[in-house]
Amino acid sequence: MRTIVISGASSGIGNATAKRFARAGDRVYNLDIKPPETDSAAGTWIETDVADWSAVDRAVARVDEAHGGIDVAIANAGISIRHGVLEIAETDARRVVDVNLLGVLAMWRSAARRMAGRGAGVLLATASVNGHRGYPGYADYNATKAGVAALCRTFAMELSPAIRAACVSPGAVLTPMQLAEYTPEMLVAVNARIPAGRHADPDEIAAAFFYLASPEARFLTGQEIVIDGGEIAGATTSE
């Protein structure tokens, strides 16, 4: 039985991912600022704000000490605030960076310190296709997601071969975060510009995390897997 810590598993992609590991018999801890919305099938909730580095350290230490190690750490918690570049408020931008970028750094640093002692472990995170494009209204968010892919490369370089690091970059996934941004018309419009013709189901992102954590991915480190129904490839074609 592996021990998994995942942030942001009370909802959306993190919730589906935690359940994917739990179904396989893994022991899952969910570091989230809020309790699970639906049920506790996503593991044991430890109330944690990933922007608070000492809270992250405490949560990771608690799991590590209870079970003699952490096998996989998934930094998935993320937020987005819609604002044009001329309107961005400093407090909003700092919060987005603290949660989406430094929150990944805090969780990976904390878990990697513990994994290094055992000489094994896997660090995973949720980035985004928006790290590859200038999606309007989300300059700070887009920058944090490009930053997560950059963190992944450096963690892999410094910690290989004992510890692997990788991230998953979803395109549009139908989660509470995404639905909060949409009117019904926007949902139809976004579906129309995705070559697959629809949003991803959170389970389709969870499957990638499950693969990345497995021994089947043992030669994969420092990389990002894009799962976007063809959206980024499509953006480079002309009509």
Q: Which CB sits closer to ligand NAD, 93 or 118?
A: 93
The reply on whether position 227 binds ligand NAD by CB under 6 A is no
Out of 29, 141, 182, 211, which one is annotated catalytic?
Answer: 141
| Among residues 28, 115, 149, 173, the one that binds ligand NAD under rule CB under 6 A | 173
The reply on whether position 48 binds ligand NAD by CB under 6 A is yes
Q: Which CB sits closer to ligand NAD, 3 or 178?
A: 178
Q: For the sheet containing 27-32, what is the strand order?
A: 44-47, 27-32, 3-7, 72-75, 121-126, 163-170, 223-227
Q: Which CB sits closer to ligand NAD, 110 or 126?
A: 126
The reply on whether position 231 binds ligand NAD by CB under 6 A is no
Stretch that binds ligand NAD, among 44-52, 107-115, 149-157, 213-221 (CB under 6 A): 44-52
Residues 71-90 that bind ligand NAD (CB under 6 A): 76-79
The reply on whether position 58 binds ligand NAD by CB under 6 A is no
The residues facing 73 across adjacent strands are 5, 123
Stretch that binds ligand NAD, among 70-78, 108-116, 132-140, 186-194 (CB under 6 A): 70-78
Note if 135 is an active site residue.
Answer: no
Return the closest-CA partner of residue 51 out of 4, 94, 3. 94
The reply on whether position 194 binds ligand NAD by CB under 6 A is no
CB 63, min distance to ligand NAD, A? 15
CB 144, min distance to ligand NAD, A? 8
Is the bond leading into 161 cis (omega within 30 degrees of zero)? Answer: yes
Q: What is the DSSP string of the chain?
A: --EEEEESTTSHHHHHHHHHHHHTT-EEEEEESS--SS-STT-EEEE--TT-HHHHHHHHHHHHHHHT--SEEEE-------B-TTT--HHHHHHHHHHHTHHHHHHHHHHHHHHHHHT-EEEEEE--GGGGS--TTBHHHHHHHHHHHHHHHHHHHHHTTTEEEEEEEES-B-SHHHHHH--HHHHHHHHHTSTTSSPBPHHHHHHHHHHHHSGGGTT--SEEEEESTTHHHHHT---
The reply on whether position 147 binds ligand NAD by CB under 6 A is no
Among positive and negative, which fits the CA dihedral 184, 83, 8, 108? positive
CB 37, min distance to ligand NAD, A? 8
The reply on whether position 10 binds ligand NAD by CB under 6 A is yes
Q: Which CB sits closer to ligand NAD, 70 or 127?
A: 127
Which active-site residues does the annotation give? 141
Interface residues toward ligand NAD, by CB under 6 A? 7-8, 10-14, 32-34, 48-51, 76-79, 99, 126, 128, 170, 172-173, 175-178
